[in-house]
Structure 1
Amino acid sequence: MAHQRQTRRRVLRGITATGLTLGMIGTGSAQSSSTYVVTGGGRTRLENAGATIRRELANGSVFIVSAEDGAADDLRSVSGVSGVTENFEVEHDGPISEVEPQTTDDAEFTEKQWDKEITDTFEAHDYATGEGTRIVIADTGVDGTHPDLEANFNEELSVSFVDGGEKDEHIGDSGDHGTHVAGTAAATGAEGITGTAPDAELVSVRVLGPDSSSFADILAAADYTAEIGADVANYSLGAGPFPPEANSDGTRVAVQKVMQDVARRGTVSTVSAGNAETDLQRGGLFYLPGTVQGVMTVSASGPGDNLSFYSNYGTSEIEVGAPGGGRGTLEETVTPDDLVFSTEPDGTYGWKAGTSMAAPQVAGLVGLVRELEPDAHANQVENAIAHGAELVPGRSSPEFGAGRINALNTVSNL
């Protein structure tokens, strides 16, 4: 596969280093009802208590329901209910840094992909390219018309989850975040850049943006990824870090049940670790939907194989690290060169940094593993990636877990 391409003059988007957090707010409607995520209880009991079941998840152990505003305590009193969480809204953090848009004339964009060089990804393509695998990008949507994405993009399966877990049509990218993430995972290299799994199918599941962006939407989307038989779903988003007492409503348990069910059905979930510069092991902190059993939580590394200055970390909380851009401090970071370069809407390209950029590196690597070992269970895929990682001994580095990923090591060991 040719890794260097030339392309006509293109406008390059400015540098942004973005992350996503979830804010805990109510989601009342004009009918004075709210959406809740309920763990346990059972369909009949919840309906008898006045709730309307909107979606059933994890073999009936988690429900997305509508009920009157302020009904959380009533729902908690239902026999068998172990947790009730009022829906979250998702919000973007502002950029860490940005510059004016730049242009390029016939640039060899592969030279900007230090992230693929440092992980030996191009060499890994001699073994696998993700052919026959399916990668879901759960994000702001994806511009599937981008010349480096269109050959891989499955518009028929692409959807949006809005209004507390309701499925709606695909509308493209409501921002630019999802398209950037998609290119990192599976850009074809047709014109500009090559993703980790350039022959994998891409499916967009929008959970962020106008009329979307809620905790319930994310859980519903996770269920959908398993329903369509995705090999991996990437979530460059998150909530927290939260103190342990914040789990009193069962939020973490609900996420874990859904994600474990998705893994049991064969879909690996890669999740960004978050950009709060926080030790997630300290004091029992947790970050969602990462740091639960059933997902791969990914921290961010830079061109110097350092933990990126913004990345969360924590012993036993991080599965692996992957290139997300930035160095050990903001002051050491050279922009744009130290950020991750990828696709953006309308045929453009741009630089971003964040654990949001690290997670799709691992999602693409799942695609390579699944091409070579299509029947591997989710935990077997995770183990293969962990065994191929480098820089640290064992699997308990607070910064990188089993290490920073190496695609060539991973696929050549299979």
Structure 2
Amino acid sequence: MSNPDQQNFATVRQVTAALEEMAPLSLAESWDKVGLQVGDPSRPVRKVMLTLDSNDDGVIDEAIAKGVDLIIAHHAMIFRPVQTLRTDTPYGRRLQKLLANGLNVYVAHTNLDIAEGGVNDILASRLHLENTEVMTRVHNTRLKKLVVFVPETHHEAVRQAVGDAGAGWIGNYSHCTFNTPGTGTFIPQQGTNPYIGEQGQLERVNEIRLETVVPERIQDHVIAAMLQAHPYEEVAYDLYPLEIMGQELGVGRVGDLVEEMTLAQFAEFVKQQFEVPAVRVVGPLDRKIRRVAVWGGSGEEYFPDALKKGADAFVVSDIRYHYAQDAAAEGLCMVDPGHNTEKLILPSIGAYLEAKMRQYGFDTEILVSQTNTEPFRFI
């Protein structure tokens, strides 16, 4: 058994940075409250616990009992401005308990909804949807053009490194580059340690001009990989902003069921796949369902977007009466499995973070909360 004193624990900042590789805060809606809400980013983290709801006594008590240092939640601990911090209120007592026990709380909400591999992709995979696409576009990835000059001897290594780091994606094609041969010239000056050439002498080198596209959010990661693979002491490269739109990013997913079902059959399928005892259903139970839109959490008002994408049914939580009437009038069926179904994302996000901790050499443990935060009971 390893000595705890010799273990290498990630800090709060390092754990959350790993999650932000998948779900950067820049993806979040402008109204949302995401990021570190309680705690110290430099605090070492032995254990992380993932939960749907952070503002819950059971979740906080579970974290304390299990020796957790960082709670990562989908729903915010602090959403509206805090006017007072009174510990004679339930909310104040929770904040006091967090601080008294050194618990840090981080929130990933709409950024995790929008992210590739996030909430909506996980829910779509639960329904086995095929040919999935974004339902409601929020924005597109901003792209940049990376140009780097590489000696022929290291061209393949640099090309592979930037591609593996995430550069060069065009549609479903990865590692896309354009490569032009040419001659590079330079004179190493005093104090340099050139890979090729001698100080004070003009050097001519057969080089390749390597061009590729880079999503802005990962440009630092791609450049770091490029510099590591490049042999030169001083690397010549350019980074240009592009006007073209990159990958479409947004909320909700639309896709096709493996097999057509009636609405009644589909409702039972949703219950099974989302692990809920009941669902609310809008529409004729004998209606044929093949194309499905799914939205993590509340999003009833976006049902026109589901219609535009050709959906027969829209799986979304917290449907209100008049939205149900309007959708039914437009011929769209709806299935409401409840907001708490977002908890289904936790094992997948946990597996992602576990892999990241091992990749970076950290011994930080990842747990999934066992506390049931569903406020409703079905009788």
What TM-score, normalized to structure 1?
0.21
User: Counting strand residues as a fraction of each chain, which structure ranks higher?
Assistant: 2
User: Counting helix residues as a fraction of each chain, which structure ranks higher?
Assistant: 2
What TM-score, normalized to structure 2?
0.23
- Compare CA radii of gyration and give the structure with the larger one: 2
